[in-house]
Amino acid sequence: MTKLLTGILLLAALIGGGWYLLSEPETDQLPKHSQALVRRAAISAVVSATGTLNPINTVLVGSQVSGTIQHLHADFNDQVKQGQLIAQIDPAIFTAKLAEAQANLKSAEAVRDKAWIDVLDTRREYERQTDLQKKKLVAESVVDAARFAYQSAEVEHQVKLASVAQNKAALQREQVNLDYTSIHAPIDGVVISRDVDVGQTVAASLQAPTLFTIANDLTRMQVEADVDEAFIGQVQEGQPVSFTVFAYPRRKFSGTVAQVRLQPKIEAGVVKYNCIIHVDNSDLELKPGMTATISIEVEHRDSVLTVPNAALRYVPPWPQEELEQVRADLKPGQAILWRVDGDALKPLTVATGIIGEKVTEVSGADLSDDMAIAVPLKREDAERKRRFGLSLF
């Protein structure tokens, strides 16, 4: 019984294998292409790049004096008004320096007043000696000495006046430094960054340390995108832009090219140029620092004949000599399409225009809407045909 069952199974396997081999289509009979249609549609040429979203106007608020942060009156995401106190540096040292400058000024003023008294005294002595000399009561040398003393007193008074002015300037400087301990918002806006905490010491010896970053208006933002030099010649101010961000992958945002900056950026030997794209952010969905994948529409046409890009790459399995003969008369800007005519293919010379992401603009006297053309056969379609003999047309 077991041998009989084994024989039946073996016979069934042989019959099934023979049927598969007999039913499998010949490789030479498989189609070498699929079909597509010439379509009339709108087409756009785009330049793609990536960039970063930033507020249009951002101010870094720093400190011009060194000291310890005593109070903070603003935090992340706070709305602030121009002139509003947002931080306070400990003013104790600067108050003491101001008091010292005031004392130095008073001392200089006192010395100035004393020097003026010396001027008055020496002038009176000089005038008295001059009168006596006119009466031949004193020698001329005495008059000369009195005159010299008077002139010296005047010069000394000028020195003291300069000292007073110098101390006034020092007083003003210390007053300004004291005022700088109070940090005020320079613009209306929102705090997008706070870089210090209460008790932290800031040092302004070489450059002003950043305390806050304030964005003027988050309803209007900009994308700073780097465009390769190969495409920058197509980018112009005013061109429409669409972009996406990772936070909202199913939503497309729009903007406009506002500026193409002339300063080149060289990264790994590649030259790029910074393009500024203004974006409306009235709903405040976009956040500073987001990465934007942008498409700049550099050219657009409506109602033109288009074909899939793959159709321009298709080459039929003809002899090389025949293919070279078809291509012999091609000019720059021309390409070959292969029109499907029953089971045969006929070459059509067409002029190409805008190249889009999936389709290309074509024109030619022999082209018409809904014309069938050959495109390369997809690998999965070819495999399906090989295995099952299904029609692809």
| Three-state DSSP class for residue 177 | helix
Same domain flag for 84 and 196: yes
CA-derived radius of gyration, the chain: 44
Same domain flag for 202 and 69: yes
Boundary-marking domain end, from 252, 282, 300: 300
Same domain flag for 65 and 208: yes
Q: Are 392 and 377 in contact (CB under 8 A)?
A: yes
Give residue 196's pLDDT.
93
Where the chain has pLDDT below 70, the residues are: 1-31, 379-393
Distance from C-alpha of 275 to C-alpha of 228, rounded to nearest angstrom = 10
Give residue 385's pLDDT.
46
Same domain flag for 290 and 279: yes
Decide if 155 is inside a domain: yes
Q: Which helix (H) or strand (E) holds 100?
A: helix 92-134
Same domain flag for 186 and 84: yes
Q: Are 7 and 15 in contact (CB under 8 A)?
A: no
Same domain flag for 107 and 165: yes
Same domain flag for 68 and 132: no
Same domain flag for 295 and 321: no
Same domain flag for 210 and 66: yes
Give residue 14's pLDDT.
55
Same domain flag for 259 and 157: no
Boundary-marking domain end, from 215, 232, 267: 215
Give residue 12's pLDDT.
55
Give residue 323's pLDDT.
86
Decide if 15 is inside a domain: no
Same domain flag for 296 and 352: no
- Give residue 291's domain range: 47-56+216-300
Decide if 330 is inside a domain: yes
Give residue 38's pLDDT.
92
> What CATH number is associated with residue 286?
2.40.30.170
Into how many domains does the chain fold?
Answer: 4
Whole-model pTM over 0.75: no
Residue range 97-150, pLDDT digits in tens: 999 999 999 999 999 999 999 999 999 999 999 998 888 888 889 989 999 999
Same domain flag for 173 and 235: no
Q: Collect contacts of 84-88 with beta carbons under 8 A, ≥24 apart.
A: 84/184, 84/185, 85/182, 85/183, 85/184, 86/61, 86/183, 86/184, 86/185, 86/191, 86/211, 86/212, 87/182, 87/183, 87/196, 87/211, 87/212, 88/181, 88/182, 88/183
Cβ neighbour number for residue 306 with a 10 Å cutoff: 22
Decide if 20 is inside a domain: no
Decide if 17 is inside a domain: no
Residue range 59-109, pLDDT digits in tens: 999 999 999 999 999 999 999 999 999 999 999 999 999 999 999 999 999
> What CATH number is associated with residue 363?
2.40.420.20
